[in-house]
Every structure is written in structure tokens, then in C-alpha cells.
A and B are shown apart, each in its own frame.
Chain A
Amino acid sequence: MALTGRAGLLAALGALVVLVAPDPPMAVLGLALLLAALVLLDLLFAGSVRGLRFQRDGERLVRLGESVTVGLVVENPGRRRVRGVVRDAWPPSAGAAPRHLRVDVPPGQRRRLVTTLTPTRRGDREAVTVTVRSLGPLGLAARQGSHLVPWSVRVLPPFLSRKHLPAKLARLRELDGRHPALVRGQGTEFDSLREYVVGDDVRSIDWRASARRSDVVVRTWRPERDRRVLIVLDTGRTSAGRVGVAPQPGQASGQAFGWPRLDWSMDAALLLAALAARAGDRVDFLAYDRTVRAWLSGASRTDLLSSLVNAMAPIEAELVEADSPGMVAAVLARARRRCLVVLLTDLNAAAMEEGLLPVLPRLSSRHTVLVAAVADPRVAAMASERDTAEQVYDAAAAERLRGERRRITARLRGQGVEVVDALPEDIAPALADAYLALKAAGRL
């Protein structure tokens, strides 16, 4: 049950009555009894809340930064009209609006209410409860009750770097030899033989085949296809650190604190996956900290991206040190054939030296390894500000960190591992470029 402002107003107006009443104590008592009687009457004649039936419909998926509507159908099987307010409660980060919905359902009918969700972070958002406050005919008191109407909306990573996809696909077509500007594709896999036409690179003439025929024949090449790319996402503690500026609008706190490395890494992974799928490679995905957080394998090229964002959506950074030997073992167990292992992690000197570097040879001996890390623009800014003593000390600390990253990068490259270390906004295109370079060099 709940009272309304009208009941409070009535009680306050009662004070005026008491002021002029001949017997004030009795007036107070009488008013209290009258109010109680009216409230009881109202409660008695209010529409039943318990009997209401709810159903939901609407969207299940939304990209971060976009809005989605979820419908709530209220059915009133009771004999009395249900009039009042409904609160469809969602977690705060689901960004549900409006907070309260007016509802007026005559007996035996149903009404559809619409809640708009504008989530402010990635992950699964579960509806909490639906609370109905059903007012009585006098509007003095209301029945109140809650219902569980389960529904969940999965907030997908926004894939902001898809704006880079057309440019990278154009680069891919150049490799493929389909681009008119290039006569001979830079691919490394033998495709077929065809007749020489003027303008072909003479180096690509296949003399043996030309000798068999009476014509000059050139070999055509195409980029290698059907290679395997395994994207490994480190979800350990280093991925929780926030860098850069959160790109999606309408998230005040996120703007100030940036976006977790994990989200930038996901963005880069999505661009790489989209590119690799177009290039005809097979993409697998593994998220790992101390256990396997997500594993996606064998997705077809057409629904790879949707499967990938679905797999990524619920992943959160865990505040534990990543278990690098375990991760390498998990990769080795899953990737039987030679593949490109793209490891999205942080070039944290302490974590790397203790964890990844000792076990990396086991991985790099069987697979091509590419390590991609998101650099912190704040560190670069600190390193370049050198006006006062305080800033110089900060710059020294920043330079020290960058020196450590350079050292780790050098050691990784020394082991034959490709390294991409770029700022948050650049990591996705940089990773795509590194992939294309590997593909062009035929190193997959």
C-alpha cells in the first residue's frame, strides 16, 4: 500500500477544521478516523495489482551508444480498473527512460508501455522488477506490488573502428590483384596461369609453362587464403586500466575516465576479424585471464562478426594477474594447425617478464605471433611536458615506462614476434595494417 499527496493535503486542511471546531480534540480524532476510513475505502476499491499479467517484447541486442525500446504489455484480468504508475526497473547503466510510466488499464484489457534503454556500458542488462502502484477511486491511497518480468538486453561493443574497414578492404583488394591499378597481385600463393598481355611484369613469366605451349604464359598470384587467425584477448588486470577518451556520447563519467584497454582491444579485434573474414581467413577468438572467458571457433564468414560481438559483450576485465602459461597452453590446445596468433594485451614490463616472455617461444615456434598493445596517450602527454620541476619528474616517470615498453618490444621482436603498440584511436587500423603486411609477405 502507499499513500498519496492528496491524503497529506487532506490531513493538512484538517488543521483548519480543527482550528474552528467547537471541540478540537474530538475533531482531531474524528479527522484521523475519517482519513483512515477513506484510505481503507480507496485501498478496497483500487484495482488489484497481484492479478496483473505482464509480457515483454522488443529488442534483445543493442550496440553501445545506441538506444533500443523494450515493450511491456500490462494485462488486467481483474474486475476493477487499474490506474496509476508503473516503474520498469533496470540497472542504472541500462539508461532506462522514462523512470515512471502512467498506466490506465480497464478490466479485461491490455496496454503496451514502452521503455527506452540507452546503455552506458557493454554487457548483459537484466530487467529487475516491474512495480505497479494502483490508485483508488479517490486518489488518496494506492495498492502497490512488484512483478518479475524477466528480459535481458545484450549491449554489444560499438565497433567504432568499422569506419576504417573500407580503406583496409581496398588495401586487401590491392593485394588480391583485383584492383585495376595493379597488374600483378602481391599475393604469394600460386593461383593460375594465363596468357601474357603487354604490361605484365616480365618476372612473373613462367618459362617452363611457356615452353610447353607456343605462347608466353605468366603466373598469377593471389594472397594466401584459408589461413587461420586466432585472436587472443587478455582480460586480466592490465586490461582494466582506462586510457584515452570514451568515444560514445552521453556518458559523463566515462568521458572523464576514458575507456578500458579491454574495450579498445575489442574494437581492434573486431576490425581485424572483419578484415580477415573478407580476406578468406578463418577467425577464432579466445578471451583468457586465468580461465577461458570466451571461446569462439568455426563461425561462418557471414555471421562471424555477430557471433564475435555476442561473445565479447559480457566480458569484463578481471582484477587478477593473467596466467600466461595457461593462456599459451589454451592456445596450443586449440590451434592445432599453424596460425596467426594475435595477442591483445598490454606491454607491462613486470607482467610480461614474469608471465609471457618465458613461455612465448613455445607459442612462436609453432605459430606466427603478433602482440598488440594499447598505449596510453596520457603517458605521451606527460613525457612531453617539461616546463617545471614537477613536470620534469613526471616526464621522467613517463619516459621510464616508455623505455620499458621499448625494451619489451625489442625483446619480443628479437623472438620473432610482431609488435603493434599504438594509441587507443590508432590501435585498430595499426593492427589491421600489421595483418595486411603479414599477409602481403606471405607469413601467415
Chain B
Amino acid sequence: MSTVTAPSSVSTSPTAKGMWRSGRGILLVALLVLATALVPVLLSSPGTEDRRLDPGDSSDVGAQALAELLGRRGVTVVRVESVFALLAAAGPDSQLLITDTGFLTDYDARRIAGSGRDRLIVGAVRHLDILAKGVLAKEHVRARSREPRCDLRQAARAGSAYLGGASFTAPAGSTGCYPAAGRPTLVRYALDGGTVTVAGDGSFMTNLRLAEDGNAALAMNLAGARPRLIWLATPKAGDSGLAGPEGRSLGDFIPAGVGWAIVQLAVAVGVVALWRGRRLGPVVAERLPVVVRASETVEGRGRLYRARRARDRAALALRGAAIDRLAPRLGLPPTASPEEVVAAAAARTGRDAPEVRSALYGPAPVDDGALVALAGYLDTLERQVRDS
């Protein structure tokens, strides 16, 4: 290798020590951020998620107190999370309590309505047309302590209660209580052999409000009407309401391995991304010379002439160039007067002198057509002089 003359190479890759030195600051900051994010989470109590009007929830919005009270009074509270379970548990001696209809499908609502059981619907307006036929939710009213002002026994005994939410138009033969602005917020009537009770707001059943006013009495009176209470709680987020007829969703038919296989595929995608994302060496930048056509200024001037319709200047330039080329061919000095040029050109080509004069020294063309014609005439004149 006698031809080798270059100095030997120098490694430019960072060493482990260098990487630790340059990266430890960033690492420290990242650890600090992680710690500040994790510490509050770890310190906070493992609180459960608030489930509104759930018989198993002891938070302010839950209804565990009511469930306890009912249990002490001998009412069996059955908590269910799906319509299938609800209908399976319901018997002739049971009442259904529905606190949330948001997750129900039309089909679910129709099946509940079709069961003909007693049902108590609180604080829900969706599917009301199916679940409580004839009751129409009107305007929204503020929930507050209201007087019963009706002869429904359960309400009159309970006295004032925390109600509101929605006000209803009641069907014929129904009892409407706790009116707000003339419309009842609690309606009870018989439908298809069962008793349907609709309350505009379920707050009076919550742990927070149960001890106030006559809330507890009203809730006990309404919910404890039958020995068994089938309580439809809102399913946990993630459980789709798409329960099939057998209570199994589509997801239940997929083997558990598939989900994990997808996770494994995601890992594979990550590995492939790392493979493709790693460049072989740095991007090479280069200072490139400017790329500009020298004719750009001329083209720009042409466009300016065009934009301004500068026929006078254009004609002047064309005529000047033509005269500059004609004069030497006609044997005239560059300083020749217009008359001399016109006379010589007319004599050489046999054209009329006034015509040649108007082409070479005439007024500016009046329109673009005249300009094109002038350019053509000058071309012809030059050619004739050249060829003569």
C-alpha cells in the first residue's frame, strides 16, 4: 500500500463516557418530571371511580345508603349491569330501577318496556318515549327542594323533597307531583299492567341528599314498593352495551391471544421503525450555487411591458433595434438622420417613403394588434434590405 498517503482516520462516534456526560442532565430532568408526575398519583388513596346512583358506591353521588336502608326494610336489592341480567332477575314481585338510559339501545328499551314490570325511572330522559309511553319531557328546571302538592300517598307522606331536572307532561289518568312552573317533575301512572314512575332528577336518592328534607322517605316509598328491587346500574366504561341475546359481545368470541398478538405486532412495528429509522451516517449538507437564468431580467421586463400595455416603449425598442441594424446595411453612419434612413430604405426596397417613415418613426401603435403588425412590418423591411 505504497499509494496510501492520507492521514489515518479519526472516530467521530460518541463514546459511552461522552454520552453519559452529555446525556446525564437530560436524564436527570426526565427523572424529575417522572417523579413529579408519579408521586401525587401514588400518594392519593386508591379511590374508586364515582358511579352515579350506583347501589355499590359510597361517594356523594352514589346510592349505597339507599340500598342499605332498603335492605334493612327487607327489600332485596339486586344490582345488575346489563339489560339481559335485568330481565333475567325480574320476577312478578320485583320493581326495576333505572337511573341511566344513556347506554341503552332502542332494542334494550323496548325489551324493558315489553316486560311489563313495575319500573322507576329517575333522572333520565333518553328513551322515555319507549320506557314510559305518554310521558313527555318538557323544559329543564332547576333541581331544588319542592313541595309535593299532589295526593300521591308516597309523596304526600314524604313531604318536601329535592326534585327538579326535567318537567313532564303527564298522560291522562296519571298523578303528577312536585310541580315546577305548573308541570310535574314526578309522574306516576299505570301502563300495560305495571306501574311506571318517572322522576326528573335522581339527586334525592344520592348519599349526599338522602338525609335532607323528605328525600329518604320519598326514595324508600318509591323504591321499596316491591320486595325485590332490580337496580340497573351504569356499566363500567369499556363494557359496551352491545350485549347479545346470550349476554356475550363480539369481543367475547375472540380468543384472548389475539389481543396480545396485536400487542406483539405493535412491538414488531416498533422494532421495524427502529430498523428503518436509523440512518447510516449523518445527512450531508452542501452549499449550492445560486441557480438563476441570466434572461430572467429580460423576461421580467417583457412581462412588465405586457402588464402595463407599454406599446410606446415596446415600439420604441423594436424601431430602435431595426434602425440600428438597417443603417449599416444601407451604408449609413450610426448618426444618420431619420430622413436619410427613410429615404435610403424606401429607395432600396421600393416601398413608399411615408409608409417606411410611419413604421420607423411613426406614432406609438394604438393597440396590441397594431404592435404585432408593426413588428411584422419591421421584420419584412429588414429582410428586404438584407436580401436586396
Per-position binary interface string of chain A over residues 368-407, scored 1 when its CB falls under 8 Å from any chain B CB and 0 otherwise? 0000000010110011001111101111111111110010
Minimum Cβ distance to chain B for residue A131 (Å): 3
| B330 interfacial by beta-carbon distance below 8 Å | no
Q: Is the interface of B mostly helix, strand, loop or mixed?
A: helix
| B44 interfacial by beta-carbon distance below 8 Å | no
Interface centre among B3, B260, B305, B379 (most CB of A within 10 A): B260
Q: Are A242 and B294 in contact (CB under 8 A)?
A: yes
CA distance A151 to B10 in the complex (A): 13
- A110 contacts which chain B residues (CB < 8 A)? 1
CB-CB under 8 A for A242 and B292, given A55-B9, A129-B281, A397-B317:
yes
Per-position binary interface string of chain A over residues 1-28, scored 1 when its CB falls under 8 Å from any chain B CB and 0 otherwise? 0111101101110111111110011011
Q: Are A7 and B294 in contact (CB under 8 A)?
A: no
Q: Are A16 and B261 in contact (CB under 8 A)?
A: yes
CB-CB under 8 A for A388 and B372, given A15-B265, A19-B261, A403-B317:
yes
CA distance A31 to B314 in the complex (A): 79
- A346 contacts which chain B residues (CB < 8 A)? 294
- B46 contacts which chain A residues (CB < 8 A)? none
Query: Contact partner of B10 among A10, A20, A148, CB < 8 A?
Result: A148
CA distance A53 to B290 in the complex (A): 38
Per-position binary interface string of chain B over residues 1-23, scored 1 when its CB falls under 8 Å from any chain A CB and 0 otherwise? 10111111111110100000000
Query: Contact partner of B278 among A24, A52, A144, CB < 8 A?
Result: A144
Query: Contact partner of A397 among B1, B13, B271, B302, CB < 8 A?
Result: B302
Q: Are A398 and B8 in contact (CB under 8 A)?
A: no
CB-CB under 8 A for A87 and B281, given A11-B271, A379-B298:
yes
Minimum Cβ distance to chain A for residue B270 (Å): 8
| A147 interfacial by beta-carbon distance below 8 Å | yes
Q: Which of A185-193, A203-211, A253-261, A288-296 contacts B (4 or more CB under 8 A)?
A: A253-261
CA distance A386 to B11 in the complex (A): 64
CA distance A253 to B289 in the complex (A): 12
| A317 interfacial by beta-carbon distance below 8 Å | yes
Q: Are A93 and B272 in contact (CB under 8 A)?
A: no
CB-CB under 8 A for A7 and B7, given A19-B261, A129-B281:
no
| B371 interfacial by beta-carbon distance below 8 Å | yes
| A89 interfacial by beta-carbon distance below 8 Å | yes
Query: Contact partner of B284 among A3, A128, A257, A402, CB < 8 A?
Result: A128
| A78 interfacial by beta-carbon distance below 8 Å | no
Q: Are A396 and B314 in contact (CB under 8 A)?
A: yes
- B280 contacts which chain A residues (CB < 8 A)? 2, 85, 87, 100, 131, 133, 144
Q: Are B295 and A379 in contact (CB under 8 A)?
A: yes
CB-CB under 8 A for A392 and B371, given A18-B257, A89-B282:
yes
Interface centre among B8, B301, B302 (most CB of A within 10 A): B302
| B375 interfacial by beta-carbon distance below 8 Å | yes
CA distance A31 to B265 in the complex (A): 11
Interface size on A, residues (CB 8 A): 95
Q: Are A35 and B271 in contact (CB under 8 A)?
A: yes
Minimum Cβ distance to chain B for residue A305 (Å): 24
| B313 interfacial by beta-carbon distance below 8 Å | yes
Q: Are B289 and A121 in contact (CB under 8 A)?
A: yes
CB-CB under 8 A for A28 and B263, given A50-B13, A150-B6:
yes
Per-position binary interface string of chain B over residues 245-284, scored 1 when its CB falls under 8 Å from any chain A CB and 0 otherwise? 0000000000111111111110110111011001011101
Minimum Cβ distance to chain A for residue B25 (Å): 22
CB-CB under 8 A for A397 and B298, given A8-B275, A403-B321:
yes
| A352 interfacial by beta-carbon distance below 8 Å | no
| A182 interfacial by beta-carbon distance below 8 Å | no
| B334 interfacial by beta-carbon distance below 8 Å | yes
CA distance A245 to B92 in the complex (A): 97
Q: Are A243 and B318 in contact (CB under 8 A)?
A: no
CA distance A397 to B313 in the complex (A): 9
Q: Are B260 and A5 in contact (CB under 8 A)?
A: no
Which B residues, 194 to 234, have Cβ-Cβ distances below 8 Å to chain A? none
| A56 interfacial by beta-carbon distance below 8 Å | yes
Query: Contact partner of A146 among B12, B255, B278, B288, CB < 8 A?
Result: B12
Minimum Cβ distance to chain A for residue B381 (Å): 13
Closest chain A residue, CB of each to CB of B272 = A8
CA distance A28 to B257 in the complex (A): 10
Minimum Cβ distance to chain B for residue A147 (Å): 4
- A260 contacts which chain B residues (CB < 8 A)? 289
CA distance A259 to B311 in the complex (A): 33
- B282 contacts which chain A residues (CB < 8 A)? 89, 128-129, 131, 146
Query: Contact partner of A389 among B13, B295, B368, CB < 8 A?
Result: B368
Q: Are B317 and A396 in contact (CB under 8 A)?
A: yes
Q: Are B286 and A92 in contact (CB under 8 A)?
A: yes
Query: Contact partner of B261 among A10, A15, A316, CB < 8 A?
Result: A15
| B306 interfacial by beta-carbon distance below 8 Å | yes
CA distance A349 to B369 in the complex (A): 31
- A8 contacts which chain B residues (CB < 8 A)? 268, 271-272, 275
Query: Contact partner of B286 among A7, A93, A376, CB < 8 A?
Result: A93
- A145 contacts which chain B residues (CB < 8 A)? 11-13
CB-CB under 8 A for A49 and B13, given A11-B267, A243-B294:
yes
| A149 interfacial by beta-carbon distance below 8 Å | yes
| B50 interfacial by beta-carbon distance below 8 Å | no
Which B residues, 316 to 332, have Cβ-Cβ distances below 8 Å to chain A? 317-318, 320-321, 324
Minimum Cβ distance to chain A for residue B153 (Å): 57
- B314 contacts which chain A residues (CB < 8 A)? 392-393, 396-397
| B93 interfacial by beta-carbon distance below 8 Å | no
Closest chain B residue, CB of each to CB of A394 = B302
Q: Are B318 and A28 in contact (CB under 8 A)?
A: no
- A93 contacts which chain B residues (CB < 8 A)? 286, 288
Closest chain A residue, CB of each to CB of B14 = A145
Query: Contact partner of A53 among B8, B289, B301, B376, CB < 8 A?
Result: B8
Q: Are A386 and B376 in contact (CB under 8 A)?
A: yes
| A44 interfacial by beta-carbon distance below 8 Å | no
Q: Are B260 and A18 in contact (CB under 8 A)?
A: yes
Q: Are B302 and A382 in contact (CB under 8 A)?
A: yes
Minimum Cβ distance to chain A for residue B5 (Å): 7
| A249 interfacial by beta-carbon distance below 8 Å | no
Closest chain B residue, CB of each to CB of A31 = B264
Per-position binary interface string of chain A over residues 74-89, scored 1 when its CB falls under 8 Å from any chain B CB and 0 otherwise? 0000000000010101
Closest chain A residue, CB of each to CB of B304 = A397
Query: Contact partner of A50 among B11, B278, B306, B320, CB < 8 A?
Result: B11
Closest chain B residue, CB of each to CB of A402 = B321
Q: Can you report 6 residue pairs joining A to B where beta carbons are below 8 Å apart?
A: A58-B3, A130-B9, A131-B280, A242-B292, A379-B298, A389-B371
The 6 closest A-B pairs by CB, nearest first: A241-B294, A131-B281, A24-B260, A396-B314, A145-B13, A11-B268
Chain A residues with CB under 8 Å of chain B are 2-5, 7-8, 10-12, 14-21, 24-25, 27-28, 31-32, 35, 49-50, 52-58, 71, 73, 85, 87, 89-93, 100, 110, 121, 128-131, 133, 144-151, 240-243, 253, 257-258, 260-261, 316-317, 319, 346, 376, 378-379, 382-383, 386-390, 392-403, 406, 410
Extra A-B contacts (14), CB below 8 Å, given A57-B4, A57-B6, A399-B318 = A31-B267, A52-B9, A53-B9, A55-B1, A73-B4, A148-B11, A260-B289, A376-B298, A378-B293, A386-B372, A386-B375, A389-B368, A393-B302, A394-B298
